[in-house]
Amino acid sequence: MFAPWHPIPDDNLEMPQLSISTRGTSLRIHWQPTWQGAPCFDIVFAKGLASLLVIDESTFGSFKSDLWPTASERFAPSPKHGHAWHAWREEDPQRRNLYGDLGKLNYQHVTSYLFTGGDIVLLVDIGDCLPVVELLPPNKSLERTRDR
SS3 call for 90: strand
Residue-wise pLDDT for 30-45, tens only, equals 999 887 778 899 999 9
Q: What is the mean pLDDT of residues 70-93?
A: 82
Residue ranges of alpha helices (H) inside 3-137 are 100-106
Selection from 55-64, 85-94, 110-119, 137-146 with the highest mean pLDDT:
110-119
Selection from 8-12, 54-58, 124-128 with the highest mean pLDDT:
124-128
Q: What is the DSSP string of the chain?
A: -BEE--SSS-TTPPPPEEEEEEETTEEEEEEE-SSTTS-EEEEEETT-EEEEEEEETTTGGG---TTS---GGGBPPPSSTTS--SEEEEE-GGGGGGGHHHHHHH-S-EEEEEEE-SSEEEEEEEES---EEEEEPHHHHHHHHHH-
pLDDT attached to residue 138: 67
Q: Residue 21: is its pLDDT beyond 60?
A: yes
What's the pLDDT band for 139 if we cut at 50, 70, 90?
low
Q: What is the mean pLDDT of residues 76-97?
A: 84
pTM of the model: 0.86
Q: What is the mean pLDDT of residues 58-65?
A: 77
Least confident of 2-6, 25-29, 125-129, 137-141: 137-141
pLDDT attached to residue 140: 54
